[in-house]
């Protein structure tokens, strides 16, 4: 399993107990390269960002599993851009 992230230290800490997880920081000068890598995944766990949303939307296959935050925006909780078939994660978005 591969975790693509721009916060590899945090991800390594979170996944240290999970076997066979490789944390990768796609260190590239072109965000299109990172976007392409993300969109090639089979399954997705996305943040409340348009970057990861579009990668999951464009890359998901009929058998893909996509996890997305249930609440997308703290200030507009009714905002819900995720398709119905995506699985939702409660309390994934927190205020500062």
- Burial state string for 12-36 with b = 16 or more CB within 10 A and e = fewer than 16: eeebeeeeeeebeeeeeeeeeebbe
pLDDT in tens, 25-84: 877 888 898 899 889 999 999 988 889 999 999 999 999 999 998 888 767 777 788 899
pLDDT digits (tens, 9 = 90+) for 71-91: 887 677 777 888 999 999 987
Is 96 a domain residue? no
Q: How many domains does the chain have?
A: 1
d(CA 47, CA 71): 11
Count of CA atoms in the C-beta half-sphere (13 A) of 91:
0
**Is 72 domain-assigned?**
yes
In a domain, 20, yes or no: yes
CB 25 within 8 A of CB 3: no
95 in a structural domain: no
- Tell me the whole-structure pTM to 2 decimals: 0.80
pLDDT of residue 86: 94
Find the domain containing 76 and state its range: 2-89
* Domain-located, residue 94: no
Alpha-carbon distance 33 to 40, whole Å? 11
46 inside domain:
yes
């Amino acid at each position: 399993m591969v975790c693509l992230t721009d916060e590899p230290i945090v991800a390594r800490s979170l996944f240290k107990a999970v076997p066979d997880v490789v944390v990768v920081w796609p260190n590239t000068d072109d965000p299109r390269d990172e976007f392409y890598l993300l969109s090639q995944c089979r399954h997705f766990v996305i943040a409340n960002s348009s970057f990861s949303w579009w990668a999951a939307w464009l890359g998901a296959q009929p058998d893909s599993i996509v996890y997305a935050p249930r609440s997308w925006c703290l200030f507009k909780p009714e905002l819900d851009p995720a398709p119905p078939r995506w699985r939702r994660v409660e309390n994934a978005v927190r205020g500062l």
